[in-house]
Amino acid sequence: MKLDAVIFDLDGVITDTAHLHFVAWREVAQEIGIAIDETFNEQLKGISRMASLQRILQHGGKAEQFSAADCQAIAERKNARYVASLASLTPDSILPGITELLRDLRARGVRIGLASVSLNAPTILNALGISSLFDYCADASRVVHSKPDPEIFLAACQGLRVSPKQAIGIEDAQAGIQAINASGMASIGIGADLTGAGLLLPSTRELNWQQLEAFWQHLHPASATVKE
């Protein structure tokens, strides 16, 4: 079976915005008397803005204390801080190995997709200068179910017109690995603490075409990797 597409998560895979999300949430949570740390933050990766806020409120034992309008205002405050921190992004903010991998995939005719639940994804790809390298970006504003539901990965496959069985997804979040696996795609995890990934790499430094090709051939021993 041929590898038709590779679908990337954004935050924590293409650039280190996962950390910027954490910093913005930590500040806003502190304002409402809730402390969060990096360990707790692992649970927020891949989770939509409002669902992240709900988890933070529950973590602080304050789930019942805020109205829907309060939650909206808190989420907007978090986003304003997060968006302000995005001003620091440049093409140098792309994580190691990613630019080379995107170029290698294009050179081999493997389609490239994005499956991020971030409403800020288009702004970030523009700031990094790599929007044109993506054949299709799933629209986070149309996604009803956040990861670990496979919806956004299936939307990306549909937009690329590829079968999930002929695609690889790449994620740094546990919820993201679950979403990829549930979609029927093969999964690559970035980060030491993830479980369930078909291939687990410590960082994007180890993520390259040779790794992907070897992984795909391991899954599909008799297949050619590149489209004829």
Of 4, 11, 135, 172, the active-site residue reads: 11
**192 closest CA partner among 209, 208, 206, 212:** 206
79 binds ligand BG6 (CB under 6 A): yes
DSSP state of 140: G
11 binds ligand BG6 (CB under 6 A): yes
Q: Which residue reads 């929007």 in tokens?
A: 131
What is the footprint of Mg ion within residues 127-186 (CB under 5 A)? 172-173
**Residue 79 or 211 having the CB closest to ligand BG6:** 79
The nearest distance, CB 10 to Mg ion, in angstroms, is 7
Of 4, 9, 135, 172, the active-site residue reads: 9
User: Which secondary structure element, helix H or strand E, spans residue 167, and what is its range?
Assistant: strand 167-171
CB 22 within 8 A of CB 44: yes
159 binds ligand BG6 (CB under 6 A): no
User: Which secondary structure element, helix H or strand E, spans residue 199, and what is its range?
Assistant: strand 199-201
Q: Which of 4, 9, 42, 151 binds Mg ion (CB under 5 A)?
A: 9
Q: Based on the residue annotation, tell me whether 9 is a catalytic residue of this protein.
A: yes
Sign of the alpha-carbon torsion through 128, 132, 133, 137: positive
Q: Which of 3, 5, 6, 11 binds Mg ion (CB under 5 A)?
A: 11
Structure tokens at 213: 């090709």
**Residue 15 or 181 having the CB closest to ligand BG6:** 15
SS3 193: coil
42 binds Mg ion (CB under 5 A): no
Choose the one of ligand BG6, Mg ion, none that binds residue 172, judging by a C-beta under 5 to 8 angstroms depending on kind: Mg ion
**Residue 22 or 216 having the CB closest to ligand BG6:** 22
Here's the x/- map for ligand BG6, 37-76, by CB under 6 A: it reads as -------xxxxxx--x------------------------
131's CB contacts (< 8 A; 6+ apart) are 122, 125
End-to-end CA distance of the chain: 12
**169 closest CA partner among 224, 115, 100, 94:** 115
User: Which secondary structure element, helix H or strand E, spans residue 136, and what is its range?
Assistant: strand 136-137
Choose the one of ligand BG6, Mg ion, none that binds residue 187, judging by a C-beta under 5 to 8 angstroms depending on kind: none
Give me the amino acid identity at 72: Q
Q: Which of 118, 178, 181, 204 binds ligand BG6 (CB under 6 A)?
A: 118
Q: Which residues are catalytic?
A: 9, 11
User: Which residues here bind Mg ion, judged by CB under 5 A?
Assistant: 9, 11-12, 172-173
User: Which residues here bind ligand BG6, judged by CB under 6 A?
Assistant: 10-11, 18, 21, 44-49, 52, 79, 116-120, 173
